[in-house]
């Protein structure tokens, strides 16, 4: 079952370009990560300092493995210093999970 991950980051004023560059580096690393399907970075039309990353993974374990990788942790620590608030992440499952459908 595919998994979508939405990560919202509120960037400090003047740090948008730096964060975009770091997110690009993060995506390059994702391309080598098992289970990674795709990703995109979006900017809020009403608040350009709010960035949303949406990534798609084959499964929940693929995403969890990526969150524990040293490469991701290193880049995330560089991103964190440019944020006005802690990032917010949501992991979304495709359709109805087995638990919800009663299967």
Tens digit of pLDDT per residue, the chain (103 long)?
Answer: 799 999 999 999 999 999 999 999 999 999 999 999 999 999 999 999 999 999 999 999 999 999 999 999 999 999 999 999 999 999 999 776 555 544 4
CA distance 5 to 17: 22
pTM (two decimals): 0.87
The arrangement of strands across the sheet holding 36-43 comes to 36-43, 50-57, 3-10, 88-93
Question: Looking at the domain that runs over 3-91, which CATH code has it been given?
Answer: 3.30.70.100
Task: Give the start-to-end residue ranges of the domains of the chain.
Answer: 3-91
């Amino acid at each position: 079952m595919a998994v979508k991950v939405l990560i919202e980051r509120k960037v400090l004023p003047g740090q948008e370009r730096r964060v975009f560059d770091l997110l690009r580096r993060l995506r390059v690393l994702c391309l080598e990560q098992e289970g990674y399907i795709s990703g995109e970075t979006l900017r809020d039309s009403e608040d350009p300092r709010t960035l949303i990353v949406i990534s798609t993974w084959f499964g929940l374990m693929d995403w969890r493995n990526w969150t524990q990788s040293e490469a991701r942790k290193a880049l995330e620590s560089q991103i964190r210093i440019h944020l006005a608030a802690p990032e917010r992440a949501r992991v979304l499952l495709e359709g109805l999970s087995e638990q919800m459908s009663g299967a």
